[in-house]
Amino acid sequence: MLTNYHTLRYIASTLHSILQGSFIRELYSQEKDELVVSFSGQTANTLVISCRPDSNVCYLNNFVARARRNTVDVLPACTGAIVSEISILPSDRVLHIALSDQRFLAVQFFGVKANVHLVSAAGIIEDSFRNPRNYRGTPYLVRGGDEIFDLTLLDSINTPEGPELLAARLKQRYPSLGSTLVREILFRAGMDISDRASSVDTPLRQLLAQKLQQVLGELESPVPRLYLNEDGEPMLFSLISLQFLEGREQKRFSDIHEALYFFLSRRRRWVDLAARRSEIVGAIELQLEKARRSSTAAEQDLRDSNRADEYERYGGLLLAQAHDLPRGLRSAVLRDSQEDVSIPLDPALSPVQNAQRYFSKAKRARAARTQAEERIGLLRRRIAAAEHLLALVETATSQRELRTLMTTHADAFALFGLGTKAEARTQLPFRIFTVDGGFEVWAGKNSANNDLLTMKHTKPNDLWFHARGASGSHVVLKVGSAKGEPSRHAKHQAAAIAAYYSRMRNAKTVPVAMTERKYVRKPKGASAGTVVLDREKVTFVEPALPSPAPHAQD
């Protein structure tokens, strides 16, 4: 019943008694599709007019304060005008706020077309809250007629013409009732919203008439109330007791404006929570699906890499029997213990060279197997973390709980680019990666950026990397960014990043210097990016970025 005609009629009667004789101090908007009107008189009052499709209603809220930013004045020609009367058009969801100079504000609650027009005494729209260019200078048209509750309309309720369902037929006959009141009338008459109009006989018509009059009588003495769901949150607003919700918890109010404010503020909180939760869940699920695909691919790589023993066997057999094999063969069948083994060969290579080729393939396969196993481990931990966070997010029943959750598990959410840690990290002007153990690695982007990273954004015990003998990025492994100490693999990944962001990126292996940040200094007068190391350890790595690298920012 939030946007019901009878709700608006009751609101209009209370507004008239409170605001008559007041003058309009200002009209402004600081929320999308929401107009705020401040009144001065014997008491100061603030009227909030919502033109949102899901909450076409208005209510007094004297706790509204105008923001210093993101607020705009609207309908300025109304400022200083005195309110002479507030009324509602018969059977239509339009409030008229009549002004002493014979102009009036037409507040239309028409769903997506809701608006507020300033109308002249001659019936011309002077200005509008929404889309003013479309309405200025056009005639103000009044639609609808008198409010009608002619009980004789029930006599033809079961005719073949019109909608088949009785609920739809009642709404057609009495449009101001709305869905909630129609359902209540049917329930009191022992009927259901799925019943057909053709099933209504004379006794049932008489019962419907009786229940209709009963509901209309209760609307003359309204008691605003909210029906609450199992979580204690408002699910429905009503002016009367709803028997079809008997047993549901209620919260009653003596003031309809207090009830509406409570209902809308709570509902918006839930809408905001649902939107934020959906945003978080969507971001995690996107990366979860990516991690699952990567895990499947890594498992396939692991299966492929298991041929290392086979390659080494081929190499051993070829080397042992090379003197018996001529050059130029495409394959050879060699005896190994008690079985013959067919070995593909490169005819351009000698038997010894083919053996060496298989030994190299075995070495690469074993390295690939180690990398695949490490990658699968990382991905499985990432998948488990994502599934855990999704379960946690579903438990949040308020924005406060969600914020607390994201603060308590900030490190876990940051792994998926969410939360305050991730937001703060996105402001940093460096490339950022996550390596084994959850440690962060930061890489500079240019000479000046390298200086900024090394001199301003590192701690003495952070590990510092740079490709030796070549220009490139300063790379820092943030020791305090995860629990424990960085593993050997994490250091290897950081060194590979330094090699990748150097002029030796295309080399097979690159020497990379590693030291603690406290042993790195910048000579006085040295050019940007130039530093001196007091001690270092050199490791040889293949240039590469960590895989997976979902947190890299470029």
Could you tell me the residue ranges of all domains in the chain? Answer: 5-135, 151-252, 283-405, 428-541
Any bridge partners for residue 514, and if so which?
Answer: 465, 537
Distances (CA, A) of 369 to 4, 436, 548: 68, 17, 16
For residue range 83-124, list pLDDT tens digits in order. 999 999 887 899 999 999 999 999 999 988 999 999 999 999
Average pLDDT, the chain: 89
Would the pLDDT of 265 be above 80? yes
Q: Is the pTM of this model over 0.95?
A: no
CATH fold for the domain made of 5-135: ibrinogen binding protein from staphylococcus aureus fold (2.30.310)
Task: Give the residue with greater pLDDT, 150 vs 141.
Answer: 141
Average pLDDT, integer, range 238-251: 94
Q: What is the pLDDT of residue 554?
A: 45
351-395 and 399-408 helices, crossing angle to 10°: 140
Of the pLDDT bands very low, low, confident and very high (cuts 50, 70, 90), residue 550 is: very low
Average pLDDT, integer, range 127-144: 91
- Amino acid 190 reads G
Average pLDDT, integer, range 342-368: 90
Q: Which is it for the CA torsion 198, 199, 201, 205, positive or negative? A: negative
Q: Which two tokens stand for residue 438?
A: 């959850």
Rounded to an integer, what distance in angstroms lies between the CA atom of residue 176 and that of residue 546?
A: 64
Where in 44-101 does DSSP place strands (E)? Answer: 45-50, 57-60, 72-73, 83-88, 94-99
Q: What is the pLDDT of residue 396?
A: 80
Rounded to an integer, what distance in angstroms lies between the CA atom of residue 541 and that of residue 363?
A: 15
Q: What is the pLDDT of residue 368?
A: 76
Would the pLDDT of 148 be above 80? no
Q: What is the pLDDT of residue 553?
A: 47
CB 534 within 8 A of CB 412: no
Of the pLDDT bands very low, low, confident and very high (cuts 50, 70, 90), residue 473 is: very high
Distances (CA, A) of 80 to 24, 77, 350, 352: 5, 8, 101, 101
CA-wise closest residue to 92 among 119, 123, 113: 113
Question: What's the order of all strands across the beta sheet hosting 115-119?
Answer: 83-88, 94-99, 104-108, 115-119, 125-128
Q: What is the pLDDT of residue 453?
A: 94
Task: Give the residue with greater pLDDT, 437 vs 4.
Answer: 4
Q: What is the pLDDT of residue 426?
A: 58
Average pLDDT, integer, range 351-375: 85
Of the pLDDT bands very low, low, confident and very high (cuts 50, 70, 90), residue 422 is: low
Would the pLDDT of 198 be above 60? yes
Would the pLDDT of 353 be above 80? yes
For residue range 305-342, list pLDDT tens digits in order. 778 888 998 999 999 888 889 989 999 999 887 789 99
For residue range 203-236, list pLDDT tens digits in order. 999 999 999 999 999 999 999 999 998 877 888 9
Q: Which CATH class is domain 151-252?
A: mainly alpha
Rounded to an integer, what distance in angstroms lies between the CA atom of residue 397 and that of residue 452?
A: 42
Of the pLDDT bands very low, low, confident and very high (cuts 50, 70, 90), residue 548 is: very low
Q: What is the pLDDT of residue 146?
A: 57
Q: What is the pLDDT of residue 427?
A: 62
CB 60 within 8 A of CB 47: yes
CB 530 within 8 A of CB 522: yes
Would the pLDDT of 437 be above 90? no
∠ CA 208-210-211 to the nearest 5 degrees?
65
Of the pLDDT bands very low, low, confident and very high (cuts 50, 70, 90), residue 182 is: very high
Q: Is omega for the bond preceding 175 within 30 degrees of 0, making it cis?
A: no
Q: What is the CA radius of gyration of the chain?
A: 38
